[in-house]
Structures are given as C-alpha cells and as structure tokens.
Amino acid sequence: KQEVTQIPAALSVPEGENLVLNCSFTDSAIYNLQWFRQDPGKGLTSLLLIQSSQREQTSGRLNASLDKSSGRSTLYIAASQPGDSATYLCAVRPGSSNTGKLIFGQGTTLQVKP
C-alpha cells in the first residue's frame, strides 16, 4: 500500500531564507509526482509535476527533485517571501498510467515572516 509522508509538518522561516520541504513514498512504482500549494480553506494549485523518468523540474524560485529508487522528493524554495506562506502538499500517482487517483501526504504548513 502506497503511503506518502511529508516532513516537517510545519515550518517557520524569516523572509529571504532558502528552504527545503521533504516528501517520501513507500512504493517506487509511480507514474509521476506532483507538488501543490494550498492557501487556507482553498483548493489546490499545482506547482510542479515530475514524471517518473525525470529527476527534477524548475519553475521560477521553485525546484523539485525526484529520486524514485529511494522514494524521495524535495521541493526547494529560493529566497522565500511572505506570499509563499501556505500549505505545500506532495502527491504521487501510483502505477503505470496517467489516469487514476493521486495519493497525498499530509502537507507542510509554511510560514514566512517579514
């Protein structure tokens, strides 16, 4: 059974700091892995999607890496800003197809202090 774990559960950093969020999964048989952002009481916004054959993806100040064999992904946020404060969720799509469910971690709640 695939399980996704995110550490830490919460993180508070001063503005400008670089930071890393961690995601681990128990079964390496995944189709892709996705990082989402969720603002309080809101839906999910996709940040980055990494296919199982890829090692990393970058978008602006965000960089996500994937090590499928070790069951780990990291989301690196450079030069953090107060507007980055939100909950970050990672999700894996199990199996070999681009359809089907996503399995989510419990999220890391980030607070960036001015």
- By CB under 8 A, name the binding residues for other proteins: 4, 6, 36, 41-46, 49, 89, 91, 93, 97-107
Q: Which is nearer to other proteins, 19 or 102 (CB)?
A: 102
In angstroms, the Cα distances linking 67 to 26, 33, 72, 98 are: 12, 10, 5, 19
User: From residue 76, how far is each of 1, 46, 95 by CA, in Å?
Assistant: 27, 15, 26
Closest CB to other proteins among residues 66, 89? 89
**Nearest CB to other proteins, comparing residues 12 and 81:** 12
Residue 74 vs residues 20, 36, 51: alpha-carbon distances, Å: 6, 12, 14
Tell me if 71 sits within 8 A of 102, measured CB to CB: no
Comparison of 18 and 59: residue with beta carbon closer to other proteins: 59
Whether the Cβ atoms of residue 68 and residue 56 lie closer than 8 Å to each other: no
